[in-house]
Structure 1
Amino acid sequence: MESAELKNQRLKEVFQRKIQEFRTVCYVLTGYQIDITTENQYRLTSVYAEHMDDSLLFKASGGVVGSGGSMQLMETDFSRTLREMVDLHLHHQKSIPAFLSAVTLDLFSRQTTV
């Protein structure tokens, strides 16, 4: 019979593998690596980013996101270059997915233009 400590260690290992698998799948499917920077703050870096520090920073506010809470784009050097997309997709349309898709397509087109 396994000790409780050994069971806990095995659970931690499985959990860590599943977390890494989930992060990889999210990156492959969305094109964004998502990192937690501080409590309630998330850094998104596109697979198509032109520079390593080109990232978007979102902060969760107002409680649990999806249950009355919301996500707010924080200003970064990179986000300041996206004013038109921020105004259209976040302020007017109020759609983070549309904004992230527009950023992805914009960055992708910069890399594939000959």
Structure 2
Amino acid sequence: MANSKRQLFLKRRLRVRSKLRKVNSGRPRLSVNRSGKNMSVQIIDDIRGVTLAAASTLEKDLGFYGKNTIEAAQKIGATIAERAQKAGITEAQFDRGGFLYHGRVKALADAAREAGLKL
């Protein structure tokens, strides 16, 4: 019995989130959301239920409005790391959701690490 792509995505997302909950040491979570046209990322404090920093290709000042490319992901990664440092966050747990860790998701994580955010 074959699972649909959506069912496989949801299974991966639940698996990733449950592993993050098990090893969570009070660090905020860097959550990635990717669609066909845009990409967004948030740093979330799960204890308080508050978003501490966010970045997205929907922000016109970043210059990647409506584009979901590797270059856009790298810019978003660098931007979220910069905004996290302004908010006093130096490390976070990387939550890729149900997305596979390659391509745009990997580029975002690598750019955030290079900009000084410890994932």
TM-score between both structures, scaled by the size of structure 2 = 0.40
Larger Rg: 1
TM-score between both structures, scaled by the size of structure 1 = 0.41
The structure carrying a bigger helix percent of its residues is 1
